[in-house]
Amino acid sequence: MFQELPKLSDRYQAAKDAGFRYVECTFPYDEPVEVLKAAKEKAGVEQVLINSWPGDQSQGQLGLATLSSKQKEFCDKLELTIDYAKALSCKKVHIMSGKHPKVPDKATEETYLQNIEYAANRLQQEDILGLIEAVNSKISVPNYFLDNPSKAFEYVQKINHPNLKMQFDIFHVQIMNGNLTANLKNWFPAIGHIQIAQAPDRGEPHSDGEINYGYIFKLLESLQYDGFIGLEYKPTGRTTDGLTWIKQFGLQL
């Protein structure tokens, strides 16, 4: 959202002007953390979530957690992520798994589990919650390692760390798994953050698509979800023009 503004640092004030009190972002690493901190504090918003260091995106990387040859870099760059999170007073980090060029094998999975457990421990020392998210490989990110929502839940259960939860992106879950009602109910204790977008085009929640967000919001209320809901969608026009869905669903920022 707010892609009308090329700099992340400028989007903080734009979000505030649109009525937001809380923000999240994918990758803050293109700008000095001091610049982002100043912009966030000037706007008077709170940073809820950032993603971990993605690696070299020009080489197709989107996370390092599955790459055995990058384990030292994974640990080193986790410290950079922590620096940004602490400076922004951010208490949640999505640890990206990364892509894999071939069918993942047992060794890949073992590397991933080792790195995620390490990250959960290290983030816990800084009072930052670690999150893992299944990102769909059918539309958004081909060859993404963690593309199966059921697998994400399985990994949270297997690692069994008090500082590790699922990031439940309803758009990605719908694309890869569907069964949203049962999945939200069954996985609810393991969910640490929720994101929304319409499927299959990832537009605003009230746009044409497969997901009835009026129903979804009522379901989350019935489950007594009291966390944040991140707007992980791509506006069909100007960001502010597409915010009419908030009142339409009887919600407020």
Residues carrying an active site annotation: 133, 232
Determine how many CB atoms are found less than 10 A away from the CB of residue 11: 23
Torsion over CA of 19, 22, 28 and 34, rounded to 10 degrees? 90
* Number of residues in the chain: 253
Dist CA 201 CA 217 (whole Å): 20
Q: Does a cis peptide bond (omega within 30 degrees of 0) precede residue 200?
A: yes
Per-residue tokens: 118: 């390490």
Dist CA 79 CA 35 (whole Å): 19
β-partners of residue 195 are 169, 230
- The sign of the dihedral angle between the CA atoms of 181, 186, 189, 195 is negative
DSSP H stretches of helix in the chain = 8-17, 33-43, 71-87, 106-125, 149-159, 170-176, 180-187, 213-222, 245-248
β-partners of residue 50 are 93
